[in-house]
Chains A and B, each alone.
Chain A
Amino acid sequence: MNDEAIIDVRHLYKSFGDNHVLRDFSMTLAPAENLAVLGKSGSGKSVLIKCIVRLLPLDQGSIEVLHEDVGALDLDQLDELRARVGFLFQSNALYDSMTVRENLEFSLRRHWNAAQRKRGADAAVLEALTDVGLAHTVDMTPAELSGGMRKRIALARTLILRPSIILYDEPTTGLDPITSREISQLIVSVQQKYKTASIIISHDMHCIDITANRVIMLIDGKSYANDTYANLRKSADARIQEFFD
């Protein structure tokens, strides 16, 4: 469809028993693009990005990430690819038995060799933490951090591997409006600094307004609408307008 696309999802089907979550869902993501995926709770947004990194197997269809067919890779190739795709969990999923430094260094253990780690790990940790404005928390544990700080640490943890793509699962859900805005702005500044592309799952319209170049609406397991925020806002379709009320 689009040779430029760095994520290309085609005719994706995914069910859990009788629960048909995704039914013929297709989308593409262009380089350096911030794409928002909007949908009601339980519509399958998390399932979609979990399929993209093969945390969940898909039933039918195909997914290409960075021009590689995700379903066809063996485990080592998959690990290589995953290192180039950052993933922010809605729950952050910080390793709670480790300090912030260990959380960040953890991803390096596999993708850098011992000599590289010895030379560069400290600097890399510091740079990633500075990017999210939390260099002073390096020796704290996740339990000592606030919700917004944990979100930033989770972002720093994906940044340390310099991913080409970052997938955000509801990055502002559960945060207060001010922190939400800060996180949204952080997403934009990260994108500008590293020229990453991202998929941002959200139903927070402010976050989408700040971050997204384009919005896909996931309704009934399909890509129901695919346009800019401004155009969708003007749409007369009732199912689209629901989200703006």
Chain B
Amino acid sequence: MAQQKIYIRFLDEVGATTRFVLRFFHELIKPRQEYNEFFRQCYWIGYKSLPLVGITALIMGLVLTIQSRPTLVEFGAQALLPAMVSVSLVREISPVITALICAGKIGSGIGAELGSMRVTEQIDAMDVSGTNPFKYLIVTRVMATTLMLPVLSNLSNAIGLYGGYLGVSIRGHVSWHLYWTQVFNALSFGDVIPSLIKTFFFGFAIGIIGCYKGYHSSKGTEGVGRSANSAVVVASLLIFIIDLIAVQITDLLGLT
């Protein structure tokens, strides 16, 4: 009985989220875009997350290189180190880590901000003044995360690869030029394009889940905390699910 209830609640939630997504697209194509708010959100989401994303990427590149070296040395293949690092960073690690960081930082931020606007009736106030809060609050934020995540992810790629260079040069000298030549030789469009495309979906998932949880926050301070929290949990889970699907699709298309 209790299990059935959880099951029904889950389906309810999926249904409500789907309606929310449909409403997003419906509002997106309505006239009168809120450009100012959109750029403000891009600034907040992109620029303010950059330091965290950058530092993490640098460390990931560095650590990945240092840890992979012994295995490659065992096979006498340490010359392949830049190629290996670049492929794993660009295809998987960098987009997913960036998305997870943003789910934590941006998703929770949006969930908490909209949640507190909901419980203090600010969203109702926008509603009763006939100003369509969905367009102003939701569409701008979701568009901003969708467009900023690929940018952040690409920056993370670049910084991570630089971290890889540092990792390679800790033991033995590799020239700057040679490192980057090996990196770019190893990468093909089949690595870069699918990983770029999936970051759009990561960004969309982070934005829409954060907004959904905040917009439908229940009354009270506790509700705000819960919105922020579940925004992170659900968005992180979705990121892995999208990643799994993306891998299957690239595999089927033979882009590996």
Q: Cα distance A148–B111 when bound, in Å?
A: 30
- Interface size class of chain A, counting residues whose CB lies under 8 Å from the partner chain: 20 to 34
The 0/1 profile, CB within 8 Å of A marked 1, for residues 109-146 of chain B is 00000000100111011111111100010000000000
Contact A89 B126 (CB under 8 A): no
Contact A79 B120 (CB under 8 A): no
Min CB–CB distance B62 → chain A (angstroms):
38
Given known A-B contacts A91-B120, A93-B121, A96-B120, A110 and B32 have beta carbons under 8 A apart: yes
Contact B120 A82 (CB under 8 A): no
Contact B129 A83 (CB under 8 A): yes
A106 within 8 A of B: yes
Contact B124 A93 (CB under 8 A): yes
A95 within 8 A of B: yes
Contact A78 B122 (CB under 8 A): no
Q: Cα distance A85–B120 when bound, in Å?
A: 20
The 0/1 profile, CB within 8 Å of A marked 1, for residues 36-57 of chain B is 0000000000000000000000
A236 within 8 A of B: no
Closest residue of chain B to A56, judged by CB?
B124
A115 within 8 A of B: no
Min CB–CB distance A36 → chain B (angstroms):
20
**Which of B121, B124, B130, B136 contacts A83 (CB under 8 A)?**
B130
**Which of A75, A96, A107 contacts B129 (CB under 8 A)?**
A107
Q: Which residues of B contact A79 (CB under 8 A)?
A: 130-132
Contact B130 A82 (CB under 8 A): yes
- Interface size class of chain B, counting residues whose CB lies under 8 Å from the partner chain: 10 to 19
Q: Cα distance A75–B30 when bound, in Å?
A: 12
Q: Which residues of A contact B127 (CB under 8 A)?
A: 55, 82
Q: Which residues of B contact A109 (CB under 8 A)?
A: 34, 131, 136
Q: Cα distance A82–B122 when bound, in Å?
A: 15
Q: Which of B32, B117, B124, B125 has the most CB of A within 10 A?
A: B125
Contact A158 B129 (CB under 8 A): yes
Contact B122 A93 (CB under 8 A): yes
Contact A95 B129 (CB under 8 A): no
Q: Cα distance A40–B136 when bound, in Å?
A: 36
**Which of B32, B117, B124, B131 contacts A107 (CB under 8 A)?**
B131
Contact B129 A55 (CB under 8 A): no
A111 within 8 A of B: yes
The 0/1 profile, CB within 8 Å of B marked 1, for residues 94-122 of chain A is 11100000000011011100000000000
Q: Cα distance A157–B127 when bound, in Å?
A: 13
B interface residue numbers (CB < 8 A to A) = 32, 34, 117, 120-122, 124-132, 136
Q: What 10 pairs between A and B have smallest CB-CB spacing? A: A79-B130, A82-B130, A93-B125, A93-B121, A87-B128, A107-B129, A83-B130, A110-B131, A53-B128, A89-B121
10 extra A-B contacts, CB within 8 A, seeds A82-B130, A85-B128, A106-B126: A55-B128, A78-B130, A79-B131, A79-B132, A81-B130, A82-B129, A93-B121, A93-B124, A111-B131, A157-B129
